[in-house]
Amino acid sequence: MSNENAVELRNVEMHFNMSKEKLESLKEYFLKLIKRELHYEDFIAVNDVSFDIKKGDVFGIVGLNGCGKSTTLKMISGILEPTKGSVKTYGTIAPLIELGAGFDMDLTARENIYLNGSVLGYSKKFIDEKFQDIVDFSEMHEFLDVPMKNYSSGMVARIAFAIATVTTPDILIVDEILAVGDFLFQQKCEDRINAMINDDTTVIIVSHSIEQIERLCKHCVWLEKGKIKMIGDALEVCDAYKNSQR
C-alpha cells in the first residue's frame, strides 16, 4: 500500500554539469560553442537511490561531506528536480533547510514573520492567529520592531525555527539546524521536534552528530558517494558508520 509511505524515492539520480569554468557571458558561450569547447564534466551527486520512508517514521541520513545528503533532502522538499527517477511525497512538507531563508534583513522581525510565513505558504489569517505563539517560542518580544540586520545569528535562528515549526506538517525535514542557538534553545527545539514525532509527523534528519541520530531516529540510511551503503535500523546503521570511521 502506497499510502503507508510518506516519501518514496525510486531509482533517483541527480547529475550536475561541472563545467570547468563557469560561462556567464554570451560572448564566451558562443565562442566556446563555435570552437566546440563546451566541455561538461558530469558529476553524479546521487546515484540510483531508492528507499521508502514510512508515515510517522523518524528517518536519519548519515554520511561524509559531499555524499549526497543535502541533495537528497532538497529533492524530497522539491527544491531540486531529480535528473532521473521519481520522488513522491504524500502530505505537507516543512523544510528546515538553512533557517532564515527569505528573511529580508531591512525589515523588522514582525514584517519578516509575515513574509517568511507566506514563503512557507501560510495565509495571513493563519499567521495572525499564530503570531503570539511564534513570538513566545522565539522569546524575542522586545525586539519585534527592530530591523533584523541588527539581530545576532542566534536570534535570527530562533525566529526562523519558530515560524517554520508553527504548523504540524506531515513531513518535517531537518538539515543540521539544531547546531544554532544556545543550549537552552537547542533543547527547546528538540522538545518541539519530539512533540511532532509523537504527533505522527514523519521526520527526516540530516546530522553529523551521530548521537543525535541515534537518540532521535528509528531508521537510517548511510550514503556513500551518492549510493546507499547501508539502510535499516538506526542503531545498526550508526554502529556500522561509526566503525567505518575508525
CB-nearer residue toward other proteins: 68 or 117? 117
d(CA 130, CA 122): 10
Cα separation, 193 vs 199, in Å, equals: 10
179 interacts with other proteins by CB under 8 A: no
232 touches other proteins by CB under 8 A:
no
Instruction: Look up residue 22 and give its DSSP letter.
Output: -
Taking the complex as a whole, the smallest distance from the CB of residue 242 to other proteins amounts, in Å, to: 30
Closer CB to other proteins, residue 165 or residue 237? 165
Q: Cα–Cα distance between 64 and 116 in angstroms, integer?
A: 31
- Check: CB of residue 174 under 8 Å from CB of residue 205: yes
174 three-state secondary structure:
strand
The smaller minimum CB distance to other proteins, of residues 81 and 211, is found at 81
- Annotate 150-177 with b (16+ C-beta within 10 A) or e (fewer): ebeeebbbbbbbbbbbbbebbbbbbbbb
Positions 9 through 48 that interact with other proteins (CB under 8 A): 16-17, 24-27, 29
Q: Given the rule CB under 8 A, which of 77-85, 178-186, 211-219, 231-239 is the region that contacts other proteins?
A: 77-85
Q: Which of residues 80-139 bind other proteins (CB under 8 A)?
A: 80-81, 86-90, 93, 95, 97-98, 101-102, 104, 106-107, 111, 114-115, 117-124
d(CA 163, CA 179): 17
Positions touching other proteins (CB under 8 A) are 2, 16-17, 24-27, 29, 77-81, 86-90, 93, 95, 97-98, 101-102, 104, 106-107, 111, 114-115, 117-124
